[in-house]
Homo-oligomer: A and B are copies of this chain.
Amino acid sequence: MITVKTITLIGAGNVATHLGKALLNNGISINEVYSKSIANASFLASVLNASACNNIQDLNTESDLYLICIKDDCIESVVKQFAFTDKIVVHTSGSVPMDVLSKFDHYGIFYPLQTFSKKAKTNITEVPFCIEGINNETEQTLFNLGEMLSDNVHLINSEQRKKIHLAAIFACNFSNYMYSISETLLNQNNIDFEILKPLIIETAKKIQHNSAKSMQTGPAKRNDEAVIKNHLKMLADDKDYQDIYKLITDNIIKGN
């Protein structure tokens, strides 16, 4: 196990920005920031007191660890361009297999299970980190690094990580899409989305201490046919939303 002191960030987006700042705040130096856009690399580098680079083959080789924070479908091609293989290289993706990094001597996963955005501050100490390493030494190195940032660090193998990522699509992306539909329905009727926000927060809070299944309420849960029929009628002009309403309602009724 080594103690990581200097890191190179591959990527300059939301994940790189949030992790870079959190690492710096915890005494790790950010040596270099890579982005294919030198402007983006330079911007984040200036915030993190690092140098900037837009060519993987020119990466400084002095860092203890190389943290890949780029889009899932770019990871493989970026990995191919690395000129060295004797460093610890890890990625931060929920869905990309670990063995995409197998050309390196030491590799692993450092996956923060959170949605980061430029506008919103995130309390990094509560973010669950899913850690995996190709061997015990690497795994311990990454686990310790995770524990410097967060109180919520887990060893998660690639199979489990795939399941968690899929579950997160429902819990995060799809629940946000439900908010988005409700927002559209209100906008269509000149009603301010503001009125639903306390309900949305309360719904998310309720499952923090109860199982989500046990917290299910509403006409579908009660199988209240009159209300459901009326809602489907109200959605008659919007076939897509009507299909979504119907499919989800049917599944709640079935107790799925």
Contact size class for A?
35 or more
B204 close to A203 (CB less than 8 A): yes
A202 close to B122 (CB less than 8 A): yes
A238 to chain B, nearest CB (A): 9
Is A82's beta carbon under 8 Å from chain B? no
Q: Which residues of B contact A36 (CB under 8 A)?
A: none
Binds B, one of A23-31, A38-46, A137-145, A215-223: A215-223
A115 to chain B, nearest CB (A): 6
Chain A residues with CB under 8 Å of chain B are 71-73, 95, 113-115, 117, 119-120, 122, 126-128, 130, 152, 154, 160, 162-164, 166-186, 188-189, 191, 193, 195-213, 215-222, 224, 226-227, 230-231, 234-235, 240-241, 243-245, 247-248, 251-252, 254, 256
Q: Say which residue of B72, B195, B227 sits within 8 Å of A128 (CB atoms).
A: B195
Q: Which residues of B contact A168 (CB under 8 A)?
A: 182, 196, 199
Question: Can you list 5 pairs linking A and B with CB atoms under 8 Å apart?
Answer: A120-B209, A170-B179, A170-B182, A172-B217, A175-B204
